[in-house]
Amino acid sequence: MRKRVLLDAGIFIHSEFAEATVEKVRLGWGGRESVLEVHGLKRKNPGQDPDYQRQKDALFTVGRLIREGEIEAYSSVEIDFEHFRGTAPIREFNALRGCQIHKCAPALDRSRFRKTANFTVFIAKGGKKDRLEGIAGEETQTAFLEWLCSLDQASVDALIEHAAVIGFSPFEIESLTKLDWFRLLCKRSQSAENYPDVFHFWTAERHGFDALLTLEKKLPRLVAGVRTEKAKQIEINAAVLRPLDLLAALGISEADSVPIRPDQFYKLYEP
């Protein structure tokens, strides 16, 4: 059965397995030797965590399953913003190359609440690293999510009452009525640094997706802990899965091989 899955920003970022490099080639010409720089690609160095690398390697299988229609993959504008913060993507040896990625609305559209002409601030996470670099403001992702968590019921009711003026969609109005779901998970996460991941999971839950796909370890543990609380306060229907967990859910026990080999130079242009 096809699974509908929201991909978080880390999935898009780590689907890029190649990085640019230059190889120096010595050439003899007319009795003289010269050095020519050839631009190409090499595989990114694996990390120190073998399990994390296996999860990333499994993205090639995830990509194949998306192309074959076994997985219906989604992104959202908030996830796209996170992806924009990185470098320009390299298409060669990208695990998601050729995949159709559908767009879905975030649980709440931040632009309804925060307006700014400063795109750099608007797409910023607004966490500790950004603040150290002087990037801060109520328009950042984390500041907005902290504000959502601070709203009392009277404020939520007022937002719903003025939904037509603000321009909320019926989907967003329903999200506001379910804001406690998001706030509970944020509270359990114990840090505003984790709020964006919780928000993406909330988006997956609101759309009735089967799962949020992530490489992170914290969010799956957080959700598992809330599921097992004796005093159950919210119902969680979506799953948080890492790539190998998603493959297991689809009955796949062995991931595809990675098509880019370590320590090999790949020319950008072949003669």
Residue ranges covered by each domain of the chain: 1-99+239-271, 106-206
Whether the pLDDT of residue 271 is over 70: the answer is no
For residue range 167-223, what is the model confidence (pLDDT) as tens digits?
999 999 999 999 999 999 999 999 999 999 999 999 999 999 999 999 999 999 999
How many residues comprise the chain? 271
Q: Output the pLDDT for position 148.
A: 95
CA distance 248 to 65: 13
Report pLDDT for 216: 93
Residue written as tokens 């559209």?
Answer: 109
In this prediction, residue 89 carries a pLDDT of 73
Query: What is the structure's pLDDT at 134?
Result: 66
Render the burial of 124-141: b for 16+ CB within 10 Å, e for the rest. Answer: bbbbeebbeeebbbebbb
Is-contact 126 78, C-beta < 8 A? Answer: no
Helix, strand counts (H, E) of the chain: 14, 8
Q: CA–CA separation, 22 vs 111, rounded Å?
A: 42
- The span from the CA of 18 to the CA of 89, in Å, is 10
What is the pTM (predicted TM-score) of this model? 0.90
Percent of the chain exceeding pLDDT 90 equals: 66
DSSP code of 42?
E
- Please give the C-alpha separations between residue 135 and each of 9, 13, 120, 129, 159, in angstroms, as whole numbers: 20, 22, 8, 9, 28
pLDDT digits (tens, 9 = 90+) for 68-114: 999 999 999 999 988 776 666 788 899 999 999 999 999 999 999 88
